[in-house]
Amino acid sequence: MAKNFDKITKKVAKMYKEYPYPSPSTQTSQTNELLNLLRIFELENKTKLTNKKILDAGSGSGHRIINVAQHYNKCSFLGIDISDSSLRIANTLKEKNNLQNIQFEKFNLMNSTLKLGKFDFILCMGVLHHLSNPEKGLQNILQTLKKDGILFLYLYGKLGGHKRMLNKQIISILLNKEKSNYDLGIKLVRDLGLNKFEYGWNLNFKNKKEEDSLIVDSLLHANESLYDFNDIDKLFRKSDLYGYAIFGITSSTQGFLFDSSIDSKKKLSIPQTNISQFLKTDFSLSYYQSLDLKNKYRVLDLLYEPNGYTIIGLTKKAYERLSNERLKRNFIRLIEN
């Protein structure tokens, strides 16, 4: 399959061969961001995920999806990735944890996914923005979604990623003609003291080798695209989904559930976006309240400057079954009834 990789995909595959992400370790680790996301979805939607077929599109070394598969042992999982090194680690973790409900397969998301079958949930977390063509990648991924299916997608944020991208550019310029020499790049990152990770990369690494993989993924990556809300809307409008909502955002230091409402009442003990923290008077809030939903999104985007977005994409049937009030009031419909 590697011979069918385009130039960018080959570079990304080579990078992850040398530096598997999120970790080169074959020890189970508590990388529970993905598990916590699904737990929050269950709580807010008053449902339980059982007997679901779930695709993890871009499993990497499998640490995150292994934790999910352990917890949701009544669901079946397929994890796909382009990196043989990462898949070897993922399969080792599967065997160590004696998991029967997950399989891993080498797959390039730039190819049609029809042969993979159909899934109730698709998880594509921190992967699409590394593809050579994210729009095509999203279309390929959605080929596997059932008519009542749900997509979870995580994308890097353009506004909050500004400082990281400056640091990345500094390293790239210093490396000059040796940009693909990751060992030298890692040494430069440490020498400049730039190995201080933002939220999302601040994992509990245990040794230099594990930290190296985090450095490469955050500051030396072979390919990445960054998004703001306008970019996200454009991306989803090229899909066949009924609509989408921002599920949550991350800043450099923490994550937030996303809500555009002024009068939203928190039901979970999790930080949540709150426009009233920025627009403190009835006068300014009245102007915000007069906006349509997309412009409310844009205002919150500019105020919070996310370094990442978790987006939920829904088919029409999935939306009709949704009982999550927060997501429904923040839902942007793409297809008219």
Q: Where are the domains of the chain?
A: 2-158+224-253+308-321, 162-219
Nearest-angstrom CA–CA distance, 323 and 151: 16
Name which of 316, 309, 321, 318 is nearest 334 in CA terms.
316
First to last CA, the chain: 41
Q: What's residue 252's pLDDT?
A: 87
Nearest-angstrom CA–CA distance, 195 and 218: 9
For residue 17, what are the contacts with CB-CB under 8 A and spacing of at least 6?
83, 84, 85
pLDDT in tens, 223-249: 999 999 999 999 999 999 999 999 999
Nearest-angstrom CA–CA distance, 49 and 70: 13
Q: How far, in Å, are 11, 159, 165, 172 from residue 223 at the CA level?
A: 8, 18, 12, 12
Nearest-angstrom CA–CA distance, 289 and 262: 8
pLDDT in tens, 266-325: 667 889 999 999 999 999 999 999 999 999 999 999 999 999 999 999 999 999 999 999
Residue for token digits 């961001």? 33
Strands 53-57 and 119-125: parallel
Domain 2-158+224-253+308-321 adopts which CATH fold?
A: Rossmann fold (3.40.50)
Q: Is 237:334 a contact under the CB 8 Å cutoff?
A: yes
pLDDT value at 1 more than 50:
no
For the entire predicted model, the pTM comes to 0.95
